[in-house]
Amino acid sequence: MDFAVALLVGNSGQVAVIWLALILLAVIALFALALPRGVHRPRQISAWLADNAAQKRAEEERRAEEAAETIRYADEIAVAARGATNTAERRRDECQRAQAAVEGAWQAYQRADAALGRARRAAAYGFPDAPIDNDERAERAKALRRSAQAAYRRGDLSDTQLLDALTHRNGWDPALHPVEQELVLARAAVSHRFAAYQLSLDAENAAWQASDIATAAVRSLRQEVATAEALAETARAALPETTGHVPSARRVAAAA
């Protein structure tokens, strides 16, 4: 036993060389096992290694392109969310203006209705029903024209109503007594103002519907941004350092 130990100690250099040789042979054997069938010669091995390297580069490039596409989509959806937010803000402003228009139309209708009440009270006292001459008829026609044009400028008459008054159609008779003429004008104003109020209500409803749609779009896009940003962060982590810095979707959205 002592002799064997002394022999090993005395030949430690040779033993190390033998072990290295055995390890090298084992590595070569493993490498040979990893080679595909029919690849044994140096040229074949070199070609196989080059092909593996090319496939690896192609796979890395494909993954990098997929990651870049994921990041681009996150940036684009963030910009879209920013645009949707601006649209929703405009829709809310339109709702405020529509509400103000409804209030204004209602107040105008109330003023027209109050004027109609005064005209009715004035007409209740009656007026002379005596024949008129041509001069009086001409004066009443001028008065009708001036009253109708003034009412139109105030917004109490529509374009069609003004045209009817000036052409003496659809109940606009220049021969009527001024008190009766004022009653006809007041009724026309109430009709127009109420129609305008109804239109303003329709516009307000449409504005609120558009605002609801825009708000829902913002919520949906924000959820999409959160999902896309999470995928983009994972993609950025997978990109090689040589691709450079890619801004996050949140920063792109904030700068938009």
Q: For the chain, which residues make up each domain, given as ranges?
A: 2-49, 63-255
- Residue 156: which pLDDT band, with cuts at 50, 70 and 90? very high
> Residue 248 — φ and ψ, nearest 5°?
-75, 160
> Residue 38 — φ and ψ, nearest 5°?
90, -5
Distance CA 189, CA 147 (A): 12
Q: 85 near 214, Cβ under 8 Å?
A: no
Distance CA 97, CA 104 (A): 10
Give the chain's mean pLDDT.
79
Q: Does 81 have pLDDT greater than 70?
A: yes
Distance CA 28, CA 159 (A): 99
Structure tokens at 183: 């009653």
Q: pTM value?
A: 0.64
Q: Does 187 have pLDDT greater than 90?
A: yes
**205-226: per-residue pLDDT in tens?**
999 999 999 999 999 988 988 8
- 232, 237, 235, 234: which is closest to 248 by C-alpha? 232
